[in-house]
Amino acid sequence: MRRGLVLGGLAALAACSSPEEAPKGRAIDCALAGAAKFAPDCFVQDSRVGDLRFLTVRHKDGAFRRFQMVDDGRGVIAADGADEAVAKWSAQGVLEVTVAGDRYRFPAQMKPDAPKP
């Protein structure tokens, strides 16, 4: 039986965006560059490579981060770069992921049979 994360309604992966064009995907709350408050300023897209699932989060300025979905209770890990992603689950069904000074809130829920982190 597979364990892990359930994310709903994510769009297919599209081409990279530049700051001049609006990012594609589902809007999620984020707090970038150490910001104290979250705002719906990031966009997430879901993609697959073989059996692996990835989430690409795009910022309005054209920057992006990629996360790999994992089935071990953590939800996601950083797929690229040197910075580690730290994920924590909230009781409200939100996966909050922090990488360097950026924070993202993914509407998600842990499957009932997933191990607790």
Count of domains for the chain: 1
Residue 115 lies in a domain: no
Residue 105 lies in a domain: yes
pLDDT in tens, 13-48: 333 445 556 677 999 999 999 999 999 999 999 999
Residue 65 lies in a domain: yes
Name the helix (H) or strand (E) containing 102.
strand 102-110
Q: Which range of residues forms the domain containing residue 91?
A: 5-13+22-110
Name the helix (H) or strand (E) containing 54.
strand 52-59
Residue 116 lies in a domain: no
Residue 117 lies in a domain: no
pLDDT in tens, 60-104: 999 999 999 998 888 999 999 889 999 998 878 899 999 999 999
* Angstrom distance (rounded) from CA 7 to CA 28: 12
Residue 85 lies in a domain: yes
